[in-house]
Structure 1
């Protein structure tokens, strides 16, 4: 599992995962318009398909299809569940294909199209996520509330269906092969669709709930994100919000593995499989401790600030590049980069206790200055404005709980 998935892996195991057969039937009926045609496509009996659909409707406590002489037409909720179901099975099928492709030459066996999704069990998928998180079948079994032999059997069944070796066992525990990593990513994306289903079902009944994990970039989410989170939790008390921080690269990997749901911060060029939405433009500012010698100068320019040490943003980040470009535009070398951090708390503490200077967002600098924590250094930083926004997985639609969080972010950013 991706490092930093502090959101807790167990949230990846939604209850609807135990109804994979029913979800396949719902997707097939929605696609083909009748239980009879769906049964032919799935190689099941028509009564079996009908029962499976009824079980999913019972789980949803809602009608997913309108029945008529001409067949079965999906309701609004039914169409949404069917769409997510098809997407999750596409992820699982892609996982089997990608796993085989990563096997050493001669070891992989081509997966039979559709066989993996038709036969894979929720127990096998849960076992893969659990063992990846714990690196131990015994610990995975303990967390899942199962016996170690049952977890071992579920993993062996998964490898057999995928026709690829997904795990290596050693004295240090159990780890995933490259094929296993590819499968794990797709399984977690499939679970993300299931969690979104459960959120959509709750919303259909007028109750927005779920769990949203936000990856926050430094120098970007200072004031508007807390405001947005507070608004969501007041309007929807059953929505759980988790915020983690990290570098853009680490958060991007977690986004692609469904360990987080959205990245908030300074936008980069969009990566493959990611869509972005701009929220507002944010200028940067230089901060110093109250009483810093630079503040005593009657006329202060950027060149004067090179005589002090800095707390610099990490190399290559938008904030670091913007600051270096501001110095370069005046023909000046950039500050020394002996101390770099993306931890805003550490940067503020270093500024408050030393003569170091640091960079932060202008609105955070002003808020900290009003609290007497720092002073805004009165030097203009032209062309350091960055676009702040959100990055989401390109495939799929936001779940109802994530949509509520995104709406609150838009509202908070427009007010700021």
Structure 2
């Protein structure tokens, strides 16, 4: 199997597929045996021979390095690892079936041959290959069959053939080709999101298998929101890496909307920041609550004033948080509580580095978390402007995909976050 990284289109971060993703047939067999209780009944259910099912299960047990089933006169009972692997495999194939169904729903007209080919969601999930799925993800990321082929390390005709076979299985048009390249149709986009979620299950399986060997390894991608994670998240990541040196962690930032799209398609594993109402497929965990604070450069003229009031800060320009963000809403509440309008928001930014650089070079004011402001003041880099900000306490936490059991690598990072928050609250 080619293990070239598949870069997600949203963040640009490479997400390698583990070798287990290339064993879809064996995973189908494991899931079927766990559900049916014997190789014979599983063979009947997935239309394979019993020896083929038995051989696939044995190969998967060798691959995982642990027994997946207990054999007895009454059949085969999944072990704890076997049950976990079967559960994840079931979720993987459910995502593929859902992707095929949603692709059909997005297609305004189905090809006349689709019915004769027997294109159904279950048939799609039961017969699609990882090569076809990788070709879909690669073309979506590169918008070109040639670039996708180069990315995957295979020939362009191989990519073209995989894409055509994928369309045949789905029964709908997934791609539009032109002189500008290849782009996905609405049906293709619907299928792509589910394929990425299925690949997320494959990565979770690989992390589970490492856990059975006493290892925590894998790659966790964390999306961060502004003004939320400057202190506790670096502490948590450092602790997780020290405890599990083979764990890879990637941190990206972005707007709430972009990160939520990436979370829902498994391009991101978790979002850390101010909590908001989340869609049903996302669950959230509160880590702590913290107010905001105003920062200025050392020597800022406002610091020379005595009995500084919030109204006094309107004399200077600000770097404002983006509209429709919790920080912007919190600042608006603080000013409204004193009967004031917000500072003019001619300059808005959600990039912490840009904001801090501008505040350090000018007389502009900006918001940050209260703990970060205290740390900045101790370091001498910025000053905490001594003005109260009522109504700015925000709930900081982590958002995860709902209904998905965290893999051992993600679970290790989440636990490190909880520990870091506990220690920082006690400090």
TM-score (norm 1): 0.97
CA contact (8 A) 1:2 1:257 kept: no
Consecutive unaligned residues of structure 1, counting only runs of 5 or more, are none
Q: Secondary structure at the match of 2:23?
A: helix
Shift of 1:8: 1.4
- How far apart, in 2, do the equivalents of 1:349 and 1:118 lie? 54
How much has 1:4 moved relative to structure 2?
3.4
Provide, for residues 61-103 of structure 1, a one-character-per-residue CA deviation record: whole Å limited to 9, x for no partner. 1110011111111111111000000000000001111001111
Which residue of structure 2 lines up, in the alignment, with residue 348 of structure 1?
A: 356
- Deviation string, structure 1 residues 190-239 (Cα, Å, up to 9, x no partner): 00000000000001100100000000111000110000000110010111
Separation of aligned partners in 2, 1:181 and 1:74: 36
Is residue 2:308 matched to residue 1:300? yes
Check conservation: 1:6, 1:244, Cα contact below 8 A. Answer: no
1:334 deviates by 0.7
Give the Cα separation in 1 of the matches to 2:280 and 2:380. Answer: 43
Equivalent of 2:41 in 37, 42, 50: 37
1:144 and 2:152 are equivalent in the alignment: yes
> Which residue of structure 1 aligns with residue 3 of structure 2?
none
TM-score normalised by length of structure 2: 0.95
* Partner residue of 2:20 out of 13, 16, 21: 16
Residue aligning to 1:95? 99
2:9 paired with 1:7: no
1:285 match: secondary structure: strand
Q: Partner residue of 1:219?
A: 227
- Which whole-Å CA distance do the structure 1 matches of 2:171 and 2:103 have between them? 8
Distance in 2, Cα, partners of 1:3 & 1:378: 43
Q: Which runs of 5+ in 2 are unaligned?
A: 1-6
Give the alignment partner of residue 373 of structure 2, picking from 365, 370, 385: 365
Deviation digits for residues 157-206 of structure 1, max 9, x if unmatched?
Answer: 10000001111111111111111011111111000000000000001100
Q: Residue 149 of structure 1 aligns to a residue in which SS?
A: helix
C-alpha deviations, 1:126-183, integer Å up to 9, x for none? 1111111111111211221211111111111100000011111111111111110111
- Residue range with higher mean Cα deviation, 185-194 or 54-63: 54-63
- Note the alpha carbon deviations across 1:355-384, whole angstroms, 9 max, x for none: 111000011111111111110000111110
Match of 1:403 in 2: 411
Task: Choose the corresponding residue for 1:195, options 182, 203, 212.
Answer: 203
Deviation of 1:45 after TM superposition, in Å, equals: 1.2
> Is contact 1:14-1:191 (8 Å) kept?
no
Equivalent residue in structure 1 for 2:388, among 380, 387, 398: 380
Aligned: 1:161 with 2:199: no
User: 1:242 & 1:136 partners in 2: Cα distance?
Assistant: 27
In the alignment, does 2:333 pair up with 1:325?
yes
Matches within 5 A, 1:231-250: 231-250=239-258
Q: Distance in 2 between matches of 1:62 and 1:32?
A: 21
1:114 alignment partner, SS class = helix
Aligned to 1:27: 31
- Tell me by how many angstroms 1:107 deviates: 4.4
SS in 1 for 2:13: coil
Partner of 1:277, secondary structure, is: strand
SS at match of 1:253: helix
Among 46, 67, 71, the alignment partner of 1:67 is 71
Deviates more, 1:144-153 or 1:100-109: 100-109
Q: CA deviation at 1:347?
A: 1.1
- Whole-Å separation in 2 of the counterparts to 1:3 and 1:365: 34
SS at 1:287 equivalent: strand
For residue 52 of structure 1, what is the aligned residue in structure 2? 56
1:289 maps to 2:297:
yes
How far apart are the structure 2 equivalents of 1:105 and 1:117? 22
Distance 1:405 1:341, change over 3 A: same
